[in-house]
Structure 1
Amino acid sequence: MKLYSYWRSTTSYRVRIALALKGVVFDTVPVDLVAGDQRTEAYLGVNPIAGVPSLMLDDGTVLTQSMAILEWIEQAYPTPALIPADPVQAAQVRAAALIMATDVHPVNNLKVVQQLKAMGHSQDEGIAWMQDWMTRGLTAFDAVIPGGDFSFGSAPSLADICLVAQLYNAHRWGVDLTPYPRLTEIEARCLALPAFDAARPENQPDAG
């Protein structure tokens, strides 16, 4: 199994965490987004949207889009469960995860920020843009989780995976996290686990 990944990609980070939690062995194939590797003809043959992650299974099947990959991982490797069996609880976990994955990340990813710069916005304006969307998302996430040791009870879930990956970006871009003590406490508990630690951006083979 091969994971096409970029070390700072939060979407790749999500998938690395899930694979590590499930104990799934995989090889990392670095795709340097800053250098433009994602737009090469070779990589477009793997993922036509020119993004990461892409997960190539042992039979050559390629899965794309991090949330779809995470759902596949959950079904293919059900233990430990990252989504509750109860349908209402499952919907609540998915909803919290999607705040990070669909309301925050898409407007903050590299190609959006590059487009803002191409339209004449400064670096500071781009950072303010990202900080604003992350603050909105973190505020909403904090409001919908019941809490516990993790976002939903005593074990990490899909919601925690998406939260930790997004908090990496929040730290990177200087978001004020003092209003979110619950979230940073959850982050610390997650990162103390070997699977989350192994998946950290700085622990990847292409980290630079």
Structure 2
Amino acid sequence: MKLYNYFRSSASFRVRIALQLKSLPYDYLPVHIARGDHRKESYAAVSADMLVPMLETDEGERLSQSMAIIEYIDETHPAVPLLPADALGRARVRALAQSIACEIHPLNNLRVLKYLVRELRVDEEAKNTWYQHWCREGLEAFERQLSQLPPSTYCYGEMPTLADCCLVPQIFNAQRFKVNFDGLPRTMAAYQACMALEAFQKAQPAACPDNEL
């Protein structure tokens, strides 16, 4: 498999975690979205939406959108499942994952932050305040969801799931923007438990060949 991705992209990070949890080998193909490499014709020929990540399967099929990619990986390589066996559990985990991927991340991704600065002329402090506000609000909602679930080591249960694949990258980026994590005990405990695992460590931005840290 080939993974077109950017080391600091939360969505790319999610897929790298899933691949590491399943011990699946892949070719790492960097696309530097901060420089706009995803807008080049060469990448547009590969990715219709010109976004990362994009997975090319062993058969040459191309898949976009991190959540779809991860579920494809989980279905085609069921060892170390990323979703619970029961329908209710799967719904719970998907809800947690989507709270990050569909609620927090879209308001704070690179495209939005660049638009705030370049088009709306927002200064750096205001941009960071935007990020901190919406990220914190989303994490508080995430914490409330966790508080209604049975105690667990990870977001849901005693094994990492799709929800953890989404949570860890969001916390990484939130740390860069100095988001306040006070009062999020379940959220941060799940994050710390994940980061104690080799799979999450290997997938993190600092371990990527294109990292600029």
Q: What is residue 191 of structure 2 aligned with on the other side? A: 187
CA separation in 2, counterparts of 1:144 and 1:184? 13
Q: Secondary structure at the match of 2:81?
A: coil
**Is residue 172 from structure 1 mapped to residue 176 from structure 2 by the alignment?**
yes
Q: What per-residue deviation string (whole Å, max 9, x for no partner) do you get for residues 104-145 of structure 1?
A: 111111111111112111111111111111111111111112
Which residue does the alignment assign to 2:77?
Answer: 77
Displacement, 1:89?
Answer: 1.2
- Which secondary structure state, in structure 1, belongs to the residue aligned with residue 33 of structure 2? coil
Secondary structure class of the residue paired with 1:160: helix
* CA shift for structure 1 position 193: 0.6
| Residue pairs, 1:1-208, within 5 angstroms | 1-117=1-117, 118-145=119-146, 146=149, 147-208=151-212
For residues 207 and 120 of structure 1, the distance between their equivalents in structure 2, rounded to whole angstroms, comes to 28
Identity of aligned residues (%): 42
Runs of 4+ in 1 over 3 A off after TM superposition: none
Q: Give the number of equivalent residue pairs.
A: 208
TM-score (norm 2): 0.95
How many angstroms apart in 2 are the aligned matches of 1:46 and 1:143? 40
Shift of 1:150: 0.7
Q: CA deviation at 1:85?
A: 1.7
What is the CA-CA distance between 1:35 and the residue it aligns to?
Answer: 1.2
Unaligned runs of 5+ in 1: none
The CA RMSD measured in Å over matched residues stands at 0.9
How far did 1:81 drift? Answer: 1.1
